[in-house]
Structure 1
Amino acid sequence: MFVDAEFPAVPYPGARPPYSYAHDGGRGVRLTADPAALSGWRAGGVDLDEWLDTRGGAPMAGRVPVLSYGSNPCPSKLTWLRDALGLVGPVVVLRARCTGLAAVWAAGLRVVDDQRPVVLAALDGVEDHAVLMLAPEQVAVLDVCEGRGHRYALARVRTGTVELLDVTADGPFIHGVLAYVGAAVIRRPLLVSGAPVRCADVPQAEAVGLIGEPAAGDGLDVEVVSGPPAPEAFPDRLFVYGTLQPGAPMWPLLAGVARGEPRPGRLAGSLYDTGLGYPALRLGDGPGVSGWTVPLRAGVSLAALDEYEGSEYARVRVVVDGVWAWTYVWLEPVEGMSVLSAPWPVHGNTDG
């Protein structure tokens, strides 16, 4: 456990822990990855979802990933957002490595303090930033802070790669992560001698004196999001291993929201025979589970799939072959069930 005073906000962009953490009430707790936990993480020895629930926060499946490349990952800044703008509930901050993306100084100055803000741009190289896992009502607070719709736009970023750290050796990579990108001319990258200036190279105290001109654009491939972002849209793929597999009885239910061709995949964990005609998936150690990763169309609702799976399963984010995906995990006991050594058949009366 740490307190804000250990990570001050000045100088910009502020200090932050060298690990992923969850923050609430001026304090934070270190997160450790655990593929067997429904949230994928543990906080103080308990599943992060349990830690969040005891503080009235949404579970990880009810949060959206927002790439933060400025001061927001600083614990003291999060407390400022609570005190000044009414941010409520715990915030999850996951360290991330960005390739082909950079925080650069913007063309215009801030009105409130005459300092130069940062903006995201496509730029060769690697930088470490953070992904904030936010409930929709928390995104609304950041919308106010960032001036969404005026200074910045909230968008899916297709440029470069964003890889979560502190998790596994091979990812996961978050495709189409959300980020606040420049919308106004004053929030375009500042070009000095024809090139953008990385925030990592020039401190804010010196950046205010930079002389240049606004770039024509930021080089990013983005899809601007209108309205509140839906947690179920992140990630945009689903790993299936039972009747929702291609060729299985309930594939038509999934095919209607699929985009592109399913790809074979493998997930860490074990598959059990419930004896009820459908399998039970448990995450973590085990022989591994074979199935299919199905890309999902933009803007689709997963409510019908959630209803089909029922209360015996929970839809959670997992890592499949290094990429984030949704899947349905069995919640009931598995005592007395046999572990399946082969993939669940795609024909017959199955589930999952």
Structure 2
Amino acid sequence: MPLPDTDFPADPYPGRVPGFSFAHVDERSHPLRRDPRHGWTVDGHPLDHWLARHGGAPRAQRVPVLAYGSNRCPSKITWLRRALGMGEGPVVALRVRTRGIAAVWASGLRKRDGQRPAVLAAAPGVVEEHVVWLATPDQIAVLDRCEGRDERFRLARLRTGEVHTEDGGTPVVEPWCYVAHGAVRRPLRVDGALVRCADLPQEAAQGLAGAPADDGLDAPTVTGAPHPDEWPPALFAYGLLSPGERSWHLLAPHAAGAPWRATVDGTVYDTRLGYPALRRGTGDRAPGWVVPLRDPAAVLPALDDHEGAQYRRERVVTSDGTTCWAYVWAESFDGLAPLPTGW
């Protein structure tokens, strides 16, 4: 059952954080469950269906944003709606495990309440638990204002460390993330070391004395607004877009490297129209190719037009853990027969 914001107060910073993945709407956190056939579900419904019922964008129109401070707290999400006009659409927050990075206390205090905020830093060997928002462009625009983008924080693509979801360890490669930009948000070095938020509570952190330090991150700054097509930078091809097939020429110029073999959960059907159809959630394994893409936002719209309304583009996870786009059959499977395995 959904839990109210009162179970997760925002003070003291960074606030209380649910120990589970959740979708937040109407000041309540709805736990996300993992279903072997439907993936993430909310209140017994597939996540995308639940999002549609609440006026929210589907997962394919969202990008992963790592949250390691107060943006993990449901009460803070409600504050973003009330104070900054984020809107009532659902926020999707996936609990993740990180390695090689850590939330540490920042050099300066917050002006509005004197509390010390968190900032991200490289931390070899350190494992922590945080959250990845599957955020819409409108939600990111509000986070930009909240974080003081290009003043206190900068929006970047995180290359340091590893981020994996807790539902089986799916990697989240190069998530977007707000990292230190202004001096007051640089990590605080005390007696030669950064201080992890997990090691010292807010009350004690407010009295820390030290000097600003470098965060040690490989995190290139993002220019402009993130676009959902930018992530992930790979396509799972199982039909005519596969290497050597009739439509490979549409994809080949955009490949960032050699394709490799993989499978996804699903079954490939014969449409009897000269091209196959992927059905997800069948419990079988559908064979295909992972094609890394240099600039997915540049090629995917053209591929969408090529595939047409019979297909919808979804994110899938392959047998080797790679997150890819894939074109899934959007019409009825009535009368269609599965193709032989390994076709």
Distance in 2 (CA, whole Å) between partners of 1:146 and 1:157 is 17
Correspondence 1:275 to 2:272: yes
TM-score, normalised to structure 1's length?
Answer: 0.93
Structure 2 unaligned spans of 5+ = none
Distance in 2 (CA, whole Å) between partners of 1:145 and 1:322 is 33
Correspondence 1:252 to 2:249: yes
Q: CA deviation at 1:110?
A: 1.8
- Corresponding residue of 1:173: 171
Matched ranges for 1:152-231 at <5 A: 152-165=153-166, 167-168=167-168, 171-215=169-213, 217-231=214-228
- Corresponding residue of 1:32: 33
- Corresponding residue of 1:3: 4
Matched ranges for 1:1-352 at <5 A: 1-34=2-35, 36-37=37-38, 40-88=39-87, 89-124=89-124, 125-165=126-166, 167-168=167-168, 171-215=169-213, 217-298=214-295, 299-320=297-318, 321-344=320-343
Q: Is the 8 A contact 2:13 2:115 kept in 1?
A: no
Aligned-residue RMSD, C-alpha:
1.3
> What does the per-residue CA deviation read over 1:198-244, in whole Å, with 9 as the maximum and x for residues that have no partner?
000011111111111111x2111112111110001111111110111
Identify the structure with the greater helix proportion: 2
Q: CA deviation at 1:259?
A: 0.9
Percent sequence identity over aligned pairs: 53
Distance in 2 (CA, whole Å) between partners of 1:115 and 1:6 is 21
Distance in 2 (CA, whole Å) between partners of 1:294 and 1:226 is 25
Q: CA deviation at 1:136?
A: 0.2
Q: How many aligned positions are there? A: 338
Distance in 2 (CA, whole Å) between partners of 1:196 and 1:334 is 56
Structure 1 unaligned spans of 5+ = 345-352
Q: Is the 8 A contact 1:35 1:318 kept in 2?
A: no
Distance in 2 (CA, whole Å) between partners of 1:341 and 1:19 is 39
> What does the per-residue CA deviation read over 1:22-58, in whole Å, with 9 as the maximum and x for residues that have no partner?
0111112111123543xx4211111211211122211
TM-score, normalised to structure 2's length?
Answer: 0.95
Runs ≥4 residues deviating over 4 A: none
Which SS does the other structure have where 1:343 is aligned?
Answer: coil
Q: Is the 8 A contact 1:13 1:70 kept in 2?
A: yes
